[in-house]
A and B are shown apart, each in its own frame.
Chain A
Amino acid sequence: MLSIEGLEVRYGAIRALNNVSLEVRTGEIVTLIGANGAGKSTAIRAISGLVQPSRGRVLYQGHDIVGTEAHKLVGQGICQSPEGRRIFANLTVKENLELGAYLRYTRRAEVTADMERVLELFPRLKERIAQLGGTLSGGEQQMLAIGRALMSRPKLLLLDEPSLGLAPFLVQQIFAIIEDINRQGVTILLVEQNAFQALRVAHRGYVLETGDLTMQGKASDLLEDGRVRQAYLGR
């Protein structure tokens, strides 16, 4: 579904990604793990069109999407829960979700049905449907960011650190929900610091170190790998 070839992204003189190639097949959960500043979020921004790579190709369903404006990619089925959640703070939970379905806003019935589905996934949001996004707790905002992305009916869902700042119990819950979403047919690229949890739900994984891909393989193999264990799992 998604295939990245030799991707290079620069911010001025800083090279954030260096010759990165990775692949996400239809129906998979693929995780991209790495330390702070490794370039994980940059990879997501490059895929979704928010930054322009200086070299390389991003093939989505067979087409090179480099240079396509970000908002157009949403219509093609790529949507994300961005780094830092980026909830619309002064809009209600409901309005935030509606904006996720912005490109289909004329099909009211469909949007309402989707919202029901998302709220079923996140009952906490249902209780807070009229609350302003900015007044939600961090965990609730994370749920809203994921829910909002789901409202666009993505084929490929990009998640940037969905477990960041959540209590252990909530982390479990979020990952269970991610698996659930995947079972409903959404392909997922999951960027995480929480390597252990990410590798447990993912099918395959890639390890990014300061802009370079250093390891890749089946998630279960990476979970057993000595170097990964030492660097990212702390054991």
Chain B
Amino acid sequence: MAPWLIKRILGLCGGAGCLAALSILLSRNLETYYYLVLIQCGIAATLAVSLNLINGITGQFSIGHAGFYAVGAYVGAAWTVLWRPVLAHHLSFLEIGVPQGDILNLLIALVFGACAAGITGLIVGAPSLRLRGDYLAILTLGFGEVIRVILLNVDAVGGARGLSGIPTLVSSGDLAAFWVFGSLCLVTLLTRNLMQSSRGLSWLAVREDEIAAEAMGVDTTRVKVTAFVIGSMFAGAAGVLYAHFFTGISPDIFGMDVSIMITTMVVLAGTGSATGAILAGFVLTALPEVFRFLKDYRMLIFSVTLIVIMLTRPQGFLGNRELGFGTFARLWKRLRRSPAVSGNAE
């Protein structure tokens, strides 16, 4: 095996180990409320980073992301609640309640949910990504609603009541944060690696000028559909995790407001910045909680805060930059320099 590959695998294993340890530590020491908010932040950030691939990087204005989130959640939950028990009669390793069984089942649910969302993304994306701007936005928004209405009317998945009693595969092992933040890391690393390759440049080119990109030999349709499918898959995975951590889902959890919230996160993040999307995911999920003491005025204040952020930073939190160690180093330097500047002024 090539040395760089070994290094990378070791790095991944090390990272996963640290994340698992941190997850256990958090779940045992953090108050349940804060832990729940943290998980919700992680899921929101995953959704934001996955939509960033579509909206921020390839510039396709899709605003129906909750639809893919819902497909993932329902298919993942359907596996665990409806299909798995049938199979478990014959295959004992699918039994849950033991760590191996839990992990295996969650992995299967993740694969099913992500693939279902990805296939849905392909079916929706392939024809509609030929449309431009506003039309694509309207179409994806409509798709999100269609999914919600379908789920509302299919009795096999509980109709308006939704699916409940999903076994807590994740939280039982203290590993909820591990799975949620693991998938967040995965989609972020994927974005980063893509952006550092020459292929990533062609994705940005599609956002900048589709005709010029096509004229330079970029298969723009393929780029757009690929971004759409990958983005949908990670939204689906986020849905699976939501279903298994909160143990119940219903169509109203995946409404248009959620789609719009995810889109807002991506816009707030700045065009194409994955770390900005994570930041926005955390801020927009945590803010309503922070404002909880305001009771009825909570959403009002929340909306006003959003407007103020937009007015003061129209380029988004990070513009098109990424947050990294370099950013902190620069910030540190600037902080150290500023006393010297004020010293001169005296």
> Does B217 lie within 8 Å of A75, measured CB to CB?
yes
> Does A98 lie within 8 Å of B211, measured CB to CB?
no
Set of chain A residues within 8 Å of B212, measured between Cβ atoms: 82, 86-88
Pick from B205, B211, B217, B220: contact of A91, CB below 8 A: B205
Pick from B205, B209, B215, B320: contact of A70, CB below 8 A: B215
> Does B201 lie within 8 Å of A99, measured CB to CB?
yes
A59-83 at interface with B (beta carbon < 8 Å) = 69-71, 74-75, 79-80, 82
> Does B213 lie within 8 Å of A99, measured CB to CB?
yes
Pick from A48, A103, A105: contact of B215, CB below 8 A: A48
B210-224 at interface with A (beta carbon < 8 Å) = 211-220
Q: How many residues of B contact A (CB 8 A)?
A: 20
The answer for the CA separation of A87 and B216 in the assembled complex, in Å, is 11
The answer for the CA separation of A98 and B216 in the assembled complex, in Å, is 10
Chain B nearest CB from A122 CB (Å) reads 17
Set of chain A residues within 8 Å of B211, measured between Cβ atoms: 50, 82, 86
A130-159 at interface with B (beta carbon < 8 Å) = 148, 152
Set of chain A residues within 8 Å of B199, measured between Cβ atoms: 105
CB within 8 Å for A91 and B215 given contacts A71-B220, A105-B199: no
Set of chain B residues within 8 Å of A95, measured between Cβ atoms: 201, 204
CB within 8 Å for A91 and B201 given contacts A71-B214, A86-B212: yes
> Does B201 lie within 8 Å of A100, measured CB to CB?
no
CB within 8 Å for A74 and B216 given contacts A86-B211, A88-B209, A89-B208: yes
- Most chain A CB within 10 A, of B204, B205, B209, B211, is at B209
> Does A99 lie within 8 Å of B202, measured CB to CB?
yes
Set of chain B residues within 8 Å of A50, measured between Cβ atoms: 211, 214-215
> Does B216 lie within 8 Å of A105, measured CB to CB?
no
B289-306 at interface with A (beta carbon < 8 Å) = none
The answer for the CA separation of A99 and B217 in the assembled complex, in Å, is 9
Is A54 positioned at the interface, with any CB of B under 8 Å from its CB? no
Q: How many residues of A contact B (CB 8 A)?
A: 26
The answer for the CA separation of A152 and B217 in the assembled complex, in Å, is 9
Is B342 positioned at the interface, with any CB of A under 8 Å from its CB? no
Is B29 positioned at the interface, with any CB of A under 8 Å from its CB? no
Chain B nearest CB from A81 CB (Å) reads 9
Pick from A89, A100, A106: contact of B216, CB below 8 A: A100
Chain B nearest CB from A49 CB (Å) reads 8
Pick from B215, B216, B218, B320: contact of A90, CB below 8 A: B320
Convert B301-324 into 0s and 1s, putting 1 for each residue whose CB lies closer than 8 angstroms to a CB of A. 000000000000000000010000
Chain A nearest CB from B224 CB (Å) reads 13
Is A102 positioned at the interface, with any CB of B under 8 Å from its CB? yes
Set of chain B residues within 8 Å of A75, measured between Cβ atoms: 217
> Does B204 lie within 8 Å of A91, measured CB to CB?
yes
> Does A102 lie within 8 Å of B204, measured CB to CB?
no
> Does B201 lie within 8 Å of A86, measured CB to CB?
no
> Does B217 lie within 8 Å of A88, measured CB to CB?
no
A90-139 at interface with B (beta carbon < 8 Å) = 90-91, 95, 98-100, 102-103, 105-106
The answer for the CA separation of A69 and B214 in the assembled complex, in Å, is 9
Is B198 positioned at the interface, with any CB of A under 8 Å from its CB? yes
> Does A152 lie within 8 Å of B216, measured CB to CB?
yes
> Does A102 lie within 8 Å of B208, measured CB to CB?
no
Question: Can you add 11 more A-B contacts, CB < 8 Å, to A74-B217, A152-B217?
Answer: A70-B215, A79-B215, A86-B209, A86-B211, A88-B205, A88-B213, A89-B209, A90-B271, A91-B205, A91-B208, A102-B218
A-B residue pairs in contact (CB < 8 Å), sample of 6: A50-B214, A70-B215, A71-B215, A79-B217, A87-B209, A99-B218
**B residues neighboring A (CB under 8 Å):** 198-199, 201-202, 204-205, 208-209, 211-220, 271, 320
Q: What are the 10 A-B residue pairs with the smallest beta carbon separation, nearest first?
A: A74-B217, A105-B198, A86-B212, A88-B208, A103-B217, A70-B214, A71-B217, A71-B219, A102-B217, A86-B209
